[in-house]
A and B are shown apart, each in its own frame.
Chain A
């Protein structure tokens, strides 16, 4: 459908003073695109038909879609994702700086942390956090003391399990970002008399963000889905709520589809957010910023209204 639209030239180029006659050529026909579209639509229709004929009670999904328990579970999933990523990104930046530090002790500690948390499955780590009461019976922080089992709530288990695991991955992403910044940048900064910390904060990290943001967006989306694992440690988020309803209502598979749609909606919203974040950190790296989705839609609508032949 977008075949003709993409041929639109930039709108802001000023017309030359004496305008020659616009070229009115018949554009190349891309028959392959039509064939591919027909095949794709056909296959999709077949899949939809197959699912609609299956022994699945589709009506159950809208019935429960905005069920209080589902909405509450989705909210908990978002909260868990947010705080796990806060721990992950904060820890990741610290670990990355530690790994790149000239201090051999801190860089070894960071190496060991990443080696351990990246080397074991996150589900296993969650169970270890969950069962840590076997090692510690009570907790005593001086100002706060409690039985371990009361202290280690499912929420805290989930947060620590997911957040500390994520920190290991984020550390590698941040390290790649920091290393991607040209050495001349920190040299120039040092030559101006800026300290190591200022150089990092003002010069290196802002440029590293351009490399760090896209994989981090990926990690956020991944995290949103990975939170479904914490159903195994008694934390009732979206997936566990869907399972519970499935068992009580006798429509377990339907609830999986319901959960899947919720995850899809949430990850789609996150993808849009990621787009704007990437755009923000692209400042100065290219001569003009790419259009926002809204600008794209606007220019698309505008170009469709134009008479054919003018678009050259």
Chain B
């Protein structure tokens, strides 16, 4: 099990200057698993997510994606920092969806989606466009291909952002509070798309405040607070029968 974990963290530490945000995180995400990270803001869950695709550098500990060390190469007992270009190659296989969507505003929806496949994977325009149309259809926005992000609602933008990440055919998807910036009535559309992804067997790490989604779709759940994992287990167990006082008080406020 641990040998072929999709994500494996061993004592991961991260500091921003004097502030220690992650104080030793150990966890494992199995392939095809939907892994939910919950916790109060400032608990370090987003930072941990960003460490997985090396948007943040880990200060101590080891972090592996699909068996490979993130951001470094180990030779003997020495670590060598990877070049930017090597990091970029590893990121191709990891899709990321941001809280603020971060669509490229100067490109239409479909141009956003084909950008990376054409520029990074050197796919032909026809192939990339064909798949982009399929993806837009999958997220329910086939008619919005030529709209600019500013012409789309938040929920539509986030679904385009998911399609953009999927266009690289990643083996792992990271979701950083994907519904936190959305109007309540738009949240459902985005969660439906994520639910569909989970059913197709995508490995997903989801930082979320949507406890309902975590309970229904999640295979594993971790509650983080103050840079450490407080409690972990199956979402139904942790959410309905929390063991720690900190988890209990957090859940009593959000549920």
Q: Which residues of A contact B (CB under 8 A)?
A: 182, 184-185, 187-196, 198, 202-203, 206-207, 283-287
Give the CA-CA distance A185 to B115 in the complex, in Å. Answer: 13
Q: Is the CB of B98 within 8 A of A193?
A: no
B154 → chain A closest CB, angstroms: 14
Query: Do residues A191 and B150 form an inter-chain contact, with CB atoms below 8 A?
Result: no
Q: Which residue of A185, A190, A191, A287 has the most chain B CB atoms within 10 A of its CB atom?
A: A191
Minimum CB–CB distance from A18 to chain B (whole Å) comes to 29
Report yes or no: B151 in contact with A198, Cβ–Cβ below 8 A: no
Q: Which 10 A-B pairs have the closest CB atoms?
A: A193-B92, A188-B102, A192-B116, A191-B96, A284-B148, A184-B102, A193-B91, A284-B106, A284-B105, A193-B120
**What is the bound-complex CA distance between A196 and B104, given in angstroms?**
16
A184-B100, A198-B120, A286-B150 known; A192 vs B168 contact (CB < 8 Å)? yes
Is B158's CB within 8 Å of the partner chain A? no
A194→B106 CA distance, assembly (Å): 17
In the assembled complex, the Cα of A187 lies from the Cα of B102 at a distance in Å of 8
B177 to chain A, nearest CB (A): 13
Q: How far apart are A197's CB and chain B's nearest CB, in angstroms?
A: 10
Residue from the list B98, B106, B119, B150 in contact with A188, Cβ < 8 A:
B98
Stretch at the interface among B2-10, B37-45, B81-89, B125-133: B81-89
> DSSP majority for the A interface?
helix
Q: Does B55 contact A (CB under 8 A)?
A: yes
Contacts A284-B148, A287-B151 given: A192-B165 contact, CB under 8 Å? yes
- The contact sample of 29 A-B pairs, CB cut-off 8 A, is A182-B102, A187-B55, A188-B96, A188-B103, A188-B104, A192-B115, A192-B120, A192-B164, A192-B165, A192-B168, A193-B89, A193-B91, A193-B116, A193-B168, A194-B88, A195-B84, A196-B84, A198-B120, A206-B106, A207-B104, A207-B105, A207-B106, A283-B148, A284-B105, A284-B107, A284-B150, A285-B106, A285-B150, A287-B151
Which of chain B's residues has its CB closest to A281's CB?
A: B106
Chain B 72-98 interface mask (CB, 8 Å, partner A; 1/0):
000000000000110011111011101
Cβ contact of A193, chosen from B88, B100, B106, cutoff 8 A = B88
Q: A191's contact among B89, B91, B108, by CB below 8 Å, is which?
A: B91
Residue in chain A with minimal CB distance to B99: A184
Q: With A and B bound together, what is the CA distance between A193 and B105 in angstroms?
A: 19
Q: Does B179 contact A (CB under 8 A)?
A: no
Q: Is the CB of B91 within 8 A of A190?
A: yes
- Considering the chains assembled together, what is the distance between the CA atoms of A207 and B107 in angstroms? 10
Please give the residue numbers on chain B whose beta carbons come within 8 Å of chain A beta carbons, in ascending order: 53, 55, 84-85, 88-92, 94-96, 98, 100, 102-108, 115-116, 119-120, 148-151, 161, 164-165, 168
Query: Contacts of B104 on A, CB cut-off 8 Å?
Result: 185, 188-189, 203, 207
Across-interface contacts of B84 in A (CB, < 8 A): 195-196
Chain B residues contacting A202 (CB-CB under 8 Å) are 115, 119
The minimal Cβ–Cβ distance linking B91 to chain A, given in whole angstroms, is 4
Complex Cα distance, B151 from A109, in Å, reads: 43
Q: Which residues of B contact A283 (CB under 8 A)?
A: 106, 148
Q: How far is the CA of A189 from the CA of B165 in the complex (A)?
A: 10
Per a CB cutoff under 8 Å, which of A185, A190, A287 touches B88? A190
Task: List, in ascending order, chain A residues with CB within 8 A of B103's CB.
Answer: 188
Q: Which residue of B lies closest to A188 (CB)?
A: B102
Cα–Cα, bound, A285→B151 (Å): 10
A residues less than 8 Å from B96 (CB atoms): 188, 191
Residue of A nearest to B84 (CB): A196
Give 4 new A-B contacts, CB below 8 A, not counting A190-B88, A193-B91. A182-B102, A184-B98, A284-B150, A285-B105
Contact across chains for B85 and A195 when beta carbons are under 8 A apart: yes
Q: Are B98 and A187 in contact (CB under 8 A)?
A: yes
Residues of A within 8 A of B90 (CB): 193
Residues in B neighbouring A284, C-beta threshold 8 A: 105-108, 148-150
Given A283-B148, A284-B149, A192 and B105 touching (CB < 8 A)? no
Shortest CB-to-CB span from B49 to chain A, Å, is 11
Query: Looking at B91, B102, B107, B168, which has the most chain A CB atoms within 10 Å of its CB?
Result: B102
